[in-house]
């Protein structure tokens, strides 16, 4: 492997993991807040 | 801090901050990684592999910062019974574990061309691996406590405080033991051993990743507060 291959491997692993963490955290927040808002409107 | 014991007051601040931290942090991180890893110079000794530093160092910093957050929030929970402290500590756990895992993975990838090995049981690497296992233990313990009725999260708060013992071990491991991992390159007192062309993008990437980390924690806190609100309403409705 060349030096650049190691660099690409490091970023190729890190970028999807970080993007996934942000996306999953955002989706969980939106889902929970929507459920709370919907229940609040019913009261 | 006690001003934000009221979740409604906390949420009025958390909502705009989530947006700002997320966008500013994300753009700063991407911009500084491109600045350092794509446009920046190669190292005179390590060559192009030094470009891994712009993700490895912020990941290491946030892996440790995440547990510092857990420890501070756990102390606030145990001493002052701050109602949001447990929520904040639990919100730090998964992002902290992810950053600790990224630190280990990118360090291993960097270690192969730099040291000739993917892994070595030296002080810095081993103490960082212990931190990752502590995160897994904390996540499992807090999830188990949350499942139990009437649990106050005291066990996971104690675990969070005790686990903080590992943080100075990680920090000083390169000083206490003769390790394969390089010594400290940046210090508040002693300045930096890194050239400015690499230092500024590295600091920018660390700041961007920190802001993004803050946004992720706020998102996870908001999600837990909303879930708690729904569960409380459902219990009230079931009791009627």
What is the model's pLDDT at position B151? Answer: 64
CA B94-B127-B115 angle, to 5 degrees, is 110
**pLDDT for B184:** 76
Are residues B222 and A10, on separate chains, in Cβ contact within 8 Å?
A: no
**pLDDT of amino acid B194:** 85
Residues of A with CB below 8 A from B220's CB? Answer: 25, 28-29
Written in H, E and C, the secondary structure of B132-182 is: HHHHHHHHHHHHHHHHCCCCCCHHHHHHHHHHCCHHHHHHHHHHHCCCCCC
Distance of CA B51 to the CA centre of its chain: 21
Tell me the CA distances in angstroms from A2 to B10, B107, B112, B113, B114, one per residue in order.
Answer: 50, 17, 11, 9, 12
pLDDT of residue B73: 95
Contact list, A10 vs chain B (CB under 8 Å): 52, 55-56, 105-106, 109-110
Cβ-contact B28, B49 below 8 angstroms: no
Instruction: Match 């219990």 to its residue by tokens.
Output: B235
pLDDT of residue B192: 76
Residue B175: what pLDDT?
Answer: 86
Tens of pLDDT, residue by residue, chain B (240 residues): 666 667 788 899 999 999 999 999 999 999 999 999 999 999 998 899 999 999 999 999 999 999 999 999 999 999 988 889 999 999 999 999 999 999 999 999 999 999 999 999 989 999 999 999 999 999 999 999 877 665 678 899 999 999 999 999 999 998 888 778 877 777 766 677 888 999 999 999 999 999 999 999 999 999 999 998 888 888 888 887
Q: B113 to chain A, minimum CA–CA distance in Å?
A: 7
Q: Which of B59, B112, B215 sits opposite A6 (nearest CB)?
A: B112
- Whether A5 has its CB under 8 Å from any CB of chain B: the answer is no
A31, B62, B146, B174, B240 from B237: Cα distances, Å: 21, 41, 21, 57, 5
pLDDT of residue B86: 92
pTM to 2 decimal places: 0.93
CB contact under 8 A, B55 and A10: yes
Query: Å from A42 to nearest chain B CA?
Result: 11
Chain-chain contact of B226 with A4 (C-beta, under 8 angstroms)? no
pLDDT digits (tens, 9 = 90+) for A1-43: 899 999 999 999 999 999 999 999 999 999 999 999 888 776 6
Q: What are the distances in angstroms from CA B222 to CA A32, B63, B76, B151?
A: 8, 21, 19, 20
Q: Min CA distance, B189 vs chain A (Å)?
A: 31
Q: How far is the alpha carbon of A20 from chain B, nearest alpha carbon, in Å?
A: 10
């Amino acid at each position: 492997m060349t030096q650049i291959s190691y660099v690409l491997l490091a970023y190729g692993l890190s970028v999807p993991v970080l993007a996934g963490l942000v996306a999953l955290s955002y989706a969980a927040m939106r889902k929970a807040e929507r459920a709370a808002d919907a229940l609040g409107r019913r009261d | 801090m006690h001003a934000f014991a009221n979740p409604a007051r906390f949420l009025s601040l958390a909502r705009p901050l989530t947006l700002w931290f997320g966008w500013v942090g994300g753009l700063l991180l991407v911009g500084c990684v491109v600045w350092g890893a794509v446009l920046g110079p190669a190292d005179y000794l390590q060559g192009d592999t030094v470009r891994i530093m712009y993700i490895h160092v912020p990941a290491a910093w946030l892996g440790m910062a995440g547990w510092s957050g857990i420890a501070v929030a756990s102390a606030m929970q145990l001493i002052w019974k701050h109602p949001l402290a447990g929520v904040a500590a639990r919100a730090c756990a998964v992002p902290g574990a992810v950053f600790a895992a990224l630190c280990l993975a990118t360090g291993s990838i960097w270690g192969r061309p730099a040291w000739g090995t993917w892994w070595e049981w030296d002080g810095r690497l081993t103490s960082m691996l212990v931190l990752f296992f502590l995160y897994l233990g904390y996540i499992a313990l807090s999830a188990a406590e949350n499942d139990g009725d009437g649990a106050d999260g005291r066990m996971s708060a104690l675990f969070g405080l005790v686990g903080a013992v590992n943080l100075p071990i990680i920090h000083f491991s390169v000083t206490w033991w003769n390790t394969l991992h390089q010594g400290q390159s940046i210090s508040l007192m002693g300045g930096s051993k890194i050239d400015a062309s690499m230092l500024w993008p590295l600091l920018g990437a660390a700041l961007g990743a920190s802001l993004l980390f803050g946004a992720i924690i706020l998102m996870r806190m908001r999600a837990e507060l909303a879930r708690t609100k729904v569960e409380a309403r459902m219990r009230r409705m079931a009791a009627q």
